Every structure is written in C-alpha cells, then in structure tokens.
Amino acid sequence: MSIGANTRRLRIEAGLTQATLATQIGIGTSMLCQIERGTKTLTLPLAAEVARVLDCSIYDLLDEEVSKCKTA
C-alpha cells in the first residue's frame, strides 16, 4: 500500500472523517484527499502529526514503502 492508502485505512480504522483528520493536523480537506489519493506527498513533519493523531507510528504510514526499500 502507498502512504496515502495507509493514511486512509488508518483514518477509517480510527473512525475519523477526512474533515476531522484534516482539521486536527492543520490542513484542508482537499489536501488530505490529495494525500490519500497519492497526488500529494506527506512531508515528514506532517506525517509525524498524522501518526500522532491516528495513534500510530510513522512506520505504520510507510509500511509497504519501507518493505520495498528493504527488498530493493
């Protein structure tokens, strides 16, 4: 899964709407939509904020991306 797909999955598992998560991390809903679709990337500080709000680690957001690096 991509970072955006992981963000979406974890947001849904946490029971948050896009609007709620976007507000809590200080961005607009449209930007969060773009992140989840993979058309915008997360900065490291924003990824840390997403992880904090979703109560997960940055590695949970990167999950498959990290695995790809290990096998490459």
For the chain, domains (ranges, CATH) are 3-59 (1.10.260.40)
pLDDT for 65: 52
CA triple 41-50-6, angle to 5 deg: 65
- pLDDT tens by residue, 7-59: 999 999 999 999 999 999 999 999 999 999 999 999 999 999 999 999 999 99
Is the confidence at residue 67, as pLDDT, over 90? no
User: In the structure encoding, which two tokens stand for residue 28, read together?
Assistant: 């607009």
pLDDT for 69: 43
